[in-house]
Amino acid sequence: MAQPLMPHATASWLVDNTALSFPQIADFCGLHVLEVQAIADDTAATKLTGRDPVRAHELTMEEIEKGQKNPDYRLVMQKGPEQVRRTKGPRYTPVSKRQDKPDGIAWIIRNHPEISDGAIGKLIGTTRTTIAAIRDRTHWNIANITPKDPVTLGLCSQRELDALVGKAAKAAGIEAPTDTRLEGDREALIEQLRNERTQAARDAELAERGESAEPSSFFDPFKR
């Protein structure tokens, strides 16, 4: 159930200006009935200035009158408070990581020069001016900038970086690099699994005939 934007202040106004019961006010404001009691008795920890829910278009006088006539009636909010939506803009970076941005930008410029300044700005959350200064080595702190992987620095995810590199490479007509370090091990593993499957099928066939399987010579593809 939606609640008023300022529940305690709204409860204070309803206590002072209506004949609604404490349970009704507590239910409408999302408070405990004892909190409403404390507001009414001026024993709340904080002195509150009442907030008129009618002027805030959260409640109508007709709804209040229904509640005053029937203590069991539950007030219905006219409309909930508007949700705050994030507007478009640069990526937010925690304050603790902002000093790492130049290092991440320098790493991208050095390792992926095909990525545009605009794309770097969206990925890292910085301005074209800063990127251009680092690229031209005119940045005020260029002497202390050390290229570092932005993923390691926590400025972006590996998936985001890979997607950006692939997109920039495609636009520039460059073949995206592929990791071939595990190709040899992968082929050896496939060969091992194939041999094991063949041997298992042979053993099952011999077992079905009632014959004992001869010890097989195990081929280790990793052994030189």
pLDDT tens across 97-154, in order? 788 999 999 999 999 999 999 999 999 988 999 999 999 999 999 999 999 999 888 8
Confidence (pLDDT) at 25? 92
Report helix, strand or coil for 61.
helix
Closest CA to 15 of 2, 28, 3, 5: 28
In whole angstroms, what is the distance from residue 127 CA to residue 110 CA? 18
Check pLDDT > 90 for residue 85.
no
Closest CA to 23 of 65, 87, 72: 72
What ranges do the domains of the chain cover? 7-69, 95-172, 180-224
Backbone phi, then psi, for 99, in 5-degree steps? -70, -15
Confidence (pLDDT) at 152? 87
Q: What is the per-residue pLDDT across 166-201, written as a single tens digit (0 to 9) for each?
A: 898 888 787 655 555 545 566 676 677 778 878 887
Q: How distant is the alpha carbon of residue 20 from its chain centre? A: 42
pLDDT tier for residue 205 given thresholds of 50, 70 and 90? confident
In whole angstroms, what is the distance from residue 177 CA to residue 33 CA? 64
In whole angstroms, what is the distance from residue 106 CA to residue 138 CA? 12
